[in-house]
Amino acid sequence: MQKKLLTVAVAGALAVPAIAVAQSTTEVYGTVNMAFGQFRYTESTSGLPSVSKFDVANGASNYGVRSRENLGGGLAGWIQIEQNAPLERSSNQAIKPASRNSAIGIQGGFGNIFLGQWTTPWADLDALWGIGTVGFWGPVTSIIGRRETTGTAPNANCVNAEGTTPGGSSLGAGTPICDALEGGGGVGHAFWRRVSNAVFYQSPVMAGVQGKLAYQTNEGKSTANATTNADASLWSVSVQWAGMGGRARVGAAYDRHKDFTTIGQTDTGFSVKGGWNFGVIDVGAALEAMKYNAAGGEVKARQYGVALAVPVGPGSIRASWSKAKDLNGPGIAITDTGATQYNLGYEHRFSKRTNVGIGYAKITNKTNAQFTWTGAPPTQDGSSNTPPVGTDVSTFFVSMTHRF
């Protein structure tokens, strides 16, 4: 249950006019998403043995505070501060304030303008098609949207992980971490994630159509020397439509990431996602195409997937299938980099806030691929969450979700 803070009582104590109180609301909200299951990692390409283990996993559980005030003249001011909630005691995730969608904005008849950190217009489109997942073991951020090279290198002069080398840079291990929060994995700068240091605009919905725009500023621009001069920035734009009484929805997005993979080059991507609710079945589909300008040449990536949800009493049967094709282009030195993912399960809806599900999910990695899910347990080595190349990942699970 959403918990309205005691703004009325506080305002009364401070003798604030009642009309001002009525124009302001503040609430605490969140989602707890957990799963228990048996995970299996198969033998890797290099011959590391398989392993099977039980796991309690956290699927992007979060909580936050949001506030909204009516400013008059059709305007409203708002803020949101959201952070992760790692409910696994042994999790290496620390609670990072404002590590998720957090911003301040002004909204009116012109739309919504805000500053801060938020999911990109590209990533927002996943809500249009990703209806086939029970719990959180699905295609979104495992296959779809996961083909990034910039998660640990958002700027050629720094990295988000200790000991890595930014693409296209002469800098080696020990390169400065761009930001402590980013270095801890709280924020990434790839096609599927949220962006920080950014300006956002969302248009009003007109005839079912809405446009979105995000610009991540070039605050990391440097002019130190010829080998490390960089002017990294990001644009993400989308347009989406919903109609036919809410049955149809479709959206397209385009991203430009300047000086991310290689200094002087721009990575680009295009995606189309949507779905149709037939009543007896809801169907979704996604297609993505990315182009990375790596040091060795252009690299192209393609991903696509389908999803469905079939109502059954108070719950639904949900399933997804997705595929990442092999990377290709002159910048590719290895082959067999693709993967296939599928999941199937039943989710029972006890209320608008509480769901319980059961299901099975699997990712089949080719010889040189290592796709996995965010939140998966450590692999064969007992520490890393990224599987060795060629290792398949699967899980039987029971999930529980509660929103408040």
- H or E element: which one contains 403? strand 393-403
Question: Percent of the chain having pLDDT more than 90?
Answer: 58
Question: Percent of the chain having pLDDT more than 70?
Answer: 81
Strands (E), 42-134: 51-58, 62-72, 75-84, 102-108, 111-119
pLDDT at residue 158, rounded to an integer: 57
Summarize pLDDT for 308-356 with one digit per residue, the tens: 999 999 999 999 999 999 988 886 777 888 999 999 999 999 999 999 9
Instruction: Give the mean model confidence (pLDDT) for residues 62-84.
Output: 96
3-state secondary structure of 124: helix
pLDDT at residue 7, rounded to an integer: 35
State the DSSP code for 222: B
pLDDT at residue 263, rounded to an integer: 80
State the DSSP code for 126: H
pLDDT at residue 177, rounded to an integer: 54
Task: Quote the pTM value.
Answer: 0.84
Joined tokens for residue 134: 């029970």
| CA distances, 241 to each of 207, 211, 233 (Å) | 8, 9, 28
pLDDT at 180 exceeding the cut of 70: no
Joined tokens for residue 97: 């304030």
pLDDT at 154 exceeding the cut of 80: no
CA angle 80, 286, 341 (to 5 degrees): 100
Cβ proximity of 320 and 306 under 8 Å? yes
pLDDT at 170 exceeding the cut of 60: no
| Domains in the chain, CATH or no CATH each | 3-403 (2.40.160.10)
> Dihedral angle at the C-alpha atoms of 254, 139, 131, 27, nearest 10 degrees?
-80
pLDDT at residue 148, rounded to an integer: 55
Say which residue, 180 or 290, is predicted with more confidence.
290
Tell me the HSE value of 340 on the side-chain side, using a 13 A CA sphere: 3
Rounded-to-integer distance, Cα 232 and Cα 263, Å: 8
pLDDT at residue 257, rounded to an integer: 87
Instruction: Give the mean model confidence (pLDDT) for residues 366-370.
Output: 90
116 exposed, middle or buried (CB, 10 Å; 0-12, 13-18, 19+)? buried
| CA distances, 390 to each of 325, 330, 363, 387 (Å) | 15, 23, 10, 8
CB atoms within 10 A of CB 260: 28
pLDDT at residue 132, rounded to an integer: 97
pLDDT at residue 168, rounded to an integer: 39
**Average pLDDT taken over every residue of the chain:** 84
pLDDT at residue 293, rounded to an integer: 80
| Strands 233-243 and 209-216, bridge-based pairing | antiparallel
Joined tokens for residue 211: 């446009």
Summarize pLDDT for 208-230 with one digit per residue, the tens: 999 999 999 988 888 887 667 88
